[in-house]
Chain A
Amino acid sequence: MIVSAQDSTSAVISGFVKDSASGETLIGATIRVRALKLGAITNKSGFFSLHLPSGERDTVEISSLGYRTLKVPLTLGSGEERTLTILLPVQNLSGGEITVESSEERERQEPQVSRISLTPKQVEDLPKTGQADLFRILQFLPGVQTSSEISSGLYIRGGSPDQNLILLDGSVLYNPSHFFGFFSTFNPDAIKDVELIKGGFPAEYGGRLSAVLNVTDIEGDRNQTQGKVDLGLISSSATIQTPVGTGALVLAGRRTYLDAILNVTGLTQSLSLPDYYFYDLNAKLTQNPSPNDKIVISGYQGSDNLNFSGNSPASDIVLQWGNKAASAAWTHVFGSELFTNLDLSVSNFNSVFTIGSAAQPFSWTNAITDYTARASVDYFPNPENTIKAGLQATGYKTTLLIQAGNNPPNANVDLTPFYGAAYVQDEWKPAMQGYVEDPLAITGGLRVDGISSNSQLGIDPRLSARYILTPAITLKASWGIYHQYLKLATNNLVPIFDVWLPTDTTEQPERATQYVLGISTVPFENYTFEIEGYYKDMRNVVEMQPNVMSGSTLKDVFFEGNGNAYGVEFFLQKQVGRLTGWIGYTLAWTWRTFPDINNGNEFPPTYDRRNDLDIVATYHLSDRWTLGATFTYGTGQAYTQITALTPNAEDPARAISIEGDKNALRLPPYNRLDLSATYAFSFFSDKRNAEFDFDIFNAYDHRNVWISTVDQSTNPATINDIRLLPILPTFGLSVSF
């Protein structure tokens, strides 16, 4: 029977979907009335609202990846608003069929293009390099590139890492990396949900040109205390969740201990190695003062520390960098149709570099702190529309001080601009006569934002559409304009001295126009296959001028130019069954044009990759054994060739290099295979609560080239290829209690 929701008087069901064991809210769960072909998806708080015709007996199906589907029979009265709290039990591996449908259904219903969700389990089951890392898995997704295997920076669809909006529980993280970029700051044990939007993101997100990575930490077990300990070769972590008051508390911590091992073994002294470690701490307290209210207070602190004692005090080095973030959020549900969120957050990134004796050090200190207040509403007025609107106010404080001893500073930046934004968007699903369901969904939005240090106002219209062509084929498209007001001065090889500078009157805000077109299909049972093409036009993007040590305006720090990126991505994925994983292939072009670089000619940035193939697989061999493998092959990194040498005019004894066309050559193609095996067993428990994993990084020992350098200590000068890591076996132990 073909029924449209408009045929009867409307009623509303709303509420939260939760894990039945822990009470954790579930993000992205689908709520569906199969007979009516109506559905909804839970938001970041696990909330949904669904308009249904009244007076009929409906069966509501609630499902989420990794959980058993629940079927709830309902008969709603005219105009009734019914609130539900739905508890989903975890699903065993073997019972995957229903979840497949849930996954596919979400894919079909999802109006957002270029959106990918990952779970912590996916991160944990794949090969590790010392420890599981979220960014290293994201780098295997089509459209996501990396600058090298020792970098966790994400280069998404031709954008640089500073063009990604990275959120942890709503707080912006400005440099989410540890160990000189080798690891990301996200502790996998603390993560509940990862959402990556590679392009065409909606109006609720802004201030960045390229992509959004939205990481939500777990809220904690509301029913019982549980914990987990991970012991790895270079770091260990511990997580504890416990019921507190009307909610739960989560504490998670992680620290590396290479410094301690090297000290104990005497290697620090004998090899003159620096002391180095990093740590991070996550804390999250969730309380529900009433069924309609939730208050979440969360905090994060991470820090990297390096100390090196040289042969003399003049060569002592101290390096410290890290992020701090704290947020308090209050969500309130008014009736069945209005979900509100208010949050306050503070986020800080700082780095300090000191070399020399305490009496006369050379020091570099920089920081960015943002103080943000955000308010948003999700309004579900009728079956056709879901309206979102919000306001954001952010005060930035960005500082940079470069100073040698007591001399006057070479640079002394202290800026306090204000950023403001407002947005409204509507997801419209028009009921179309003769169709079994609403095949068309259009999300239109407008974001207006600006920064006090520049008078230009960004007016960003966003539009995306989804059309269900057949039960197996969905078409998607997106268009939008994006502005970015913060510009990043950094070193891409060692990204720890990030200096974020607000757009001033000497340069324009960065601006992008994105176009995305995609098709999503179900080629075989249990598989989804997506093809997306994109084109991104970027204006006023920046490249840092070399050797900037002083200056008072952005023009002194950056070259300003334009760029574009285009490509096509193929993504074949299997999310359930014994074998899960994906094959992703990207064919892409990225270009930059700067009047002051490369004689004004177009050039590719170093991270331009023409071809990128990624294969990710996890195979559940038995109840005890899980095997994992990742393989990547990509076009070599672009680099600039030295074509000649000539004397330095100021110091003729020294030769300077004359370089050819910028980034005109390519390093050899990059390829690597990583393998892992995980064994589950019981550890003083009647459950399989422990896992031992053995990982092999770079299994066939292919030493990829990192950078190509010129060695002038020989005559003639020669080119030296600096190679990356060899084969590297690691292991780890994880115990839950």
Chain B
Amino acid sequence: MMNMKNSIALGILIVFIAISGCDQPIQSAYQEQINVAAFIYAGEPIDSVVLHRTTPFGSYYDDLDYAVDSATVIISTGGVSDTLLPGIAGNPSYKGRYYLPATKLIVQGGQTYHLTIIAPNHQSGGTHLLTSSTTVPMPIHLDSQVQAFRGQTLILDTNNLAPFAFLVTAGPIDEPNREYLLSITGTDTNYGRISPESGNGLDSLRTTRYSFVETGPAIPVTSRLLIWYGPELLTFNAIDTNWVDYQRQLTNGADYQPSLDHIVGGIGIFASGARDTVSFFVKPK
């Protein structure tokens, strides 16, 4: 049997070890980052590179307040560089946006484009330097069956959703590992909402819903992709790997670090696609 003196010594040892185990949590301090939203499409001009500073958690969130309007944004391909202009075509004061007139550049399928951004760092007083690259998919076209929807009115019976399901296909396939993404955007929210709101309050502003990323150019459309009645824009995208990875990390960013957004020196996305669209109208039964 252990004597009392030993027991007391043992008790003191336990208390000492317990106290030594009371360590402090690691603090995760806010660090300003530049968030890029840049999509370029085969056969189209570069109409919008959007830059934001991140909003510190606990601060009032307004994307315009944190839009970055004094950055230098450069696109280069084949050894030729172009500096983007602030704003959007026809509105140079649109804060945080940058574009290149169609007369300067039309994006070519199969070509690799490099993005360089130099932006002020409001937190440190220095600058952010961001770089990224994308290789653009070759152009695609929707099949004739979907093309036939163009301008048509489709009736949606919310009590019998099964008939509202069709398969959208496109082609040609430019490489075997190409992945595809479909979206439907309600372009006029005055016709009323189809599906109830989900998630946080900002969902009420949402106009676009995306399909899953698919490995072949055939994507099923169900009523799940519709948010609003009225005019709809269906967009079928052949997408590059940057876009695929951005989709993967979208809702749980912390689980992908280093992030899959392929922006060196910042966050967000510089992706390319080739797209074809069709517009139609959805009415309730």
Please list the residues of chain A having a beta carbon within 8 angstroms of any beta carbon in chain B. 312-314, 357, 359-360, 404-408, 410, 472, 521-525, 529, 543, 545-547, 549-550, 559, 568, 570, 585, 587, 596-600, 610-611, 640-662, 664-666, 710-713, 715-718
Contacts and interface: CB of A to CB of B under 8 A. Distances in A.
Nearest to B258: A599
Contact of B17 (A408, A568, A649): A568
A653 B25 contact: no
Contact of B222 (A404, A550, A654): A404
B124 interface: no
B61 interface: yes
Given A646-B35, A647-B37, A546 B224 contact: no
Interface stretch (B83-91, B134-142, B145-153, B245-253): B245-253
A336 to B, nearest CB: 37
A529 B223 CA distance: 64
Closest 10 CB pairs of A and B: A660-B28, A659-B254, A649-B37, A546-B252, A644-B54, A653-B205, A407-B220, A713-B201, A664-B26, A646-B35
Contact of B57 (A312, A405, A643, A664): A643
Contacts of A666: 25
25 contacts: A404-B222, A406-B162, A408-B220, A472-B1, A522-B1, A546-B252, A550-B212, A585-B18, A587-B17, A587-B18, A610-B23, A643-B29, A644-B30, A646-B54, A646-B268, A648-B250, A650-B250, A654-B203, A654-B206, A655-B55, A661-B26, A664-B26, A664-B28, A666-B25, A716-B60
A646 B259 CA distance: 15
Contacts of B58: 716-718
Contacts of B268: 646, 649
B125 interface: no
Nearest to A636: B25
B257 to A, nearest CB: 5
Contacts of A658: 33, 54, 253, 267
A649 B269 contact: yes
B175 interface: no
Interface of B: 1-2, 6-7, 10, 14, 17-18, 20-23, 25-31, 33, 35-39, 50, 52, 54-61, 63, 66, 158-162, 165, 200-203, 205-208, 210, 212, 220, 222-224, 246, 248-258, 267-269
Given A587-B17, A641-B28, A643-B31, A651 B255 contact: no
Contacts of B160: 359
A313 B25 CA distance: 47
Contact of B257 (A360, A597, A651, A656): A597
A644 B33 contact: yes
Contacts of B267: 646, 658
A652 B269 CA distance: 13
B117 to A, nearest CB: 14
A634 B252 CA distance: 28
A521 B2 contact: yes
Contacts of A596: 256-258
B253 A643 contact: no
Contact of B18 (A313, A611, A657, A660): A611
A735 B37 CA distance: 68
Nearest to A660: B28
Contacts of A521: 2
Given A546-B248, A600-B257, 6 more contacts: A525-B1, A546-B252, A652-B37, A662-B254, A664-B26, A665-B28
A652 B36 CA distance: 11
B257 A314 contact: no
A652 B161 contact: no
Nearest to A525: B1
B28 A652 contact: no
Given A641-B28, A643-B28, A716-B60, A524 B1 contact: yes
Contact of A407 (B27, B54, B165): B165
Contact of A523 (B1, B20, B36, B162): B1
Given A547-B251, A610-B21, A713-B200, A357 B28 contact: no
Nearest to B21: A587
B220 A523 contact: no
B35 A647 contact: yes
Nearest to A718: B58
Nearest to A599: B257
B215 to A, nearest CB: 8
Nearest to A589: B21
B55 to A, nearest CB: 5
Contacts of B222: 360, 404-405, 407
Nearest to B220: A407
A407 B269 CA distance: 30
Contacts of A524: 1-2, 7
Given A522-B1, A712-B201, A662 B257 contact: yes
Nearest to B161: A360
Contact of A651 (B25, B208, B220): B208
A402 to B, nearest CB: 10
A241 to B, nearest CB: 41
A664 B27 contact: yes
Contacts of B28: 640-641, 643, 659-661, 664-665
Contacts of B25: 664-666
Contact of B202 (A408, A568, A655): A655
Contacts of B59: 716
A585 B11 CA distance: 12
A652 B258 contact: no
A657 B28 CA distance: 14
Contacts of A642: 57
Which of B23, B28, B29, B63 has the largest count of A CB atoms less than 10 A from its CB? Answer: B28
A475 to B, nearest CB: 15
A161 B252 CA distance: 23
A525 B212 CA distance: 66
A579 B267 CA distance: 60
Contacts of A587: 17-18, 20-21
A710 B21 CA distance: 30
A475 B94 CA distance: 75
B64 to A, nearest CB: 10
A611 B21 contact: yes
A359 B255 contact: no
Nearest to B58: A716
Contacts of A404: 220, 222, 224
A547 B248 contact: yes
Contacts of B2: 472, 521-524, 529
A559 B257 CA distance: 11
Contacts of A653: 202, 205-207
Contacts of B63: 647, 652, 655
A717 B26 CA distance: 22
Contacts of B202: 653-655, 712-713
A61 B156 CA distance: 82
Contacts of A360: 161-162, 165, 222-223
A410 B212 CA distance: 8
B21 A643 contact: no
Which of B52, B58, B257 has the largest count of A CB atoms less than 10 A from its CB? Answer: B257
Contact of A644 (B55, B200, B206, B210): B55
Contact of A543 (B38, B223, B249, B255): B255
B21 A546 contact: no
B210 A650 contact: yes
Which of B21, B35, B162, B250 has the largest count of A CB atoms less than 10 A from its CB? Answer: B21
A162 to B, nearest CB: 18
Contacts of A406: 162, 165
A597 B255 contact: yes
A425 B173 CA distance: 59
A736 to B, nearest CB: 39
Nearest to B17: A587
A597 B256 contact: yes
Nearest to B216: A408
Contacts of A550: 212
B37 to A, nearest CB: 3
B54 A651 contact: no
